[in-house]
Amino acid sequence: MGLFSKKSPEEKEQRKQEIEKRKEASSIFLAKSMQAIGKIPAGQLVTLTLKPDNQVLNINHDKTDITLPYERLRGFRVEDEVTLAKSGSGLGGAIVGGALFGVGGAIVGQNAKKGKTKVKWIGTLSYEDKEGNLQTLNFIEWSLTRHYEGETKNWSASQFESAVNNIVARYGDDVTEL
């Protein structure tokens, strides 16, 4: 065996899977829930984590854990509140209408009008419920002490978004619209 021994395609694939598993295990999304999730009331600080050994996405608040199997995930995206409000989506309308923690609509309007670059970031998790119906959960991205405001998406949010969407791609459903 020389210094530059070649790896077989199987060894390369195994290495690639190990790296992907480590990325998944270290991906987290800290946020406040915008609606109740099982026994977790709306507005609570939650942590979304990926558990590759168990093949589930875990939503944790305090001592409450809710899991969602990988095969039922359909996508995750993080967008800024101004983009959501301008998109005309139901969530955007709720934000503009002030449903986002009371004065959220006013904040969006001010930010869009004044051209401010710091905005709230909203994570949307799409999944199939046990009956096969498409559902969504929405979260306001959070830092350690308050909601995350920034010109661009937080690095950890981007990593979590990428990891979830890689899982969705592995399970093969061709989702063309969330």
Q: Which residues, at least 6 apart from 122, have a Cβ–Cβ distance to it below 8 Å? A: 34, 78, 79, 80, 81, 84, 91, 95, 138, 139, 140, 141
Report the alpha-carbon distance of residue 97 to residue 104 in Å, rounded.
Answer: 8
Q: What percent of the chain has pLDDT over 70?
A: 76
Bridge partners of 162, per DSSP, are none
pTM to 2 decimals? 0.74
Report the alpha-carbon distance of residue 47 to residue 129 in Å, rounded.
Answer: 20
Q: What are phi and psi of 38, to 5 degrees?
A: 60, -125
Domain ranges for the chain: 11-170
Does residue 18 have a pLDDT over 60?
yes
Q: What percent of the chain has pLDDT over 90?
A: 46
pLDDT at 21: 81
- Judge contact between 58 and 51, C-beta under 8 A: yes
Q: Which CATH architecture has domain 11-170?
A: Roll (2.30)
pLDDT at 63: 92
pLDDT at 151: 80
The 10s digit of each residue's pLDDT in 80-93 is 887 777 775 555 44
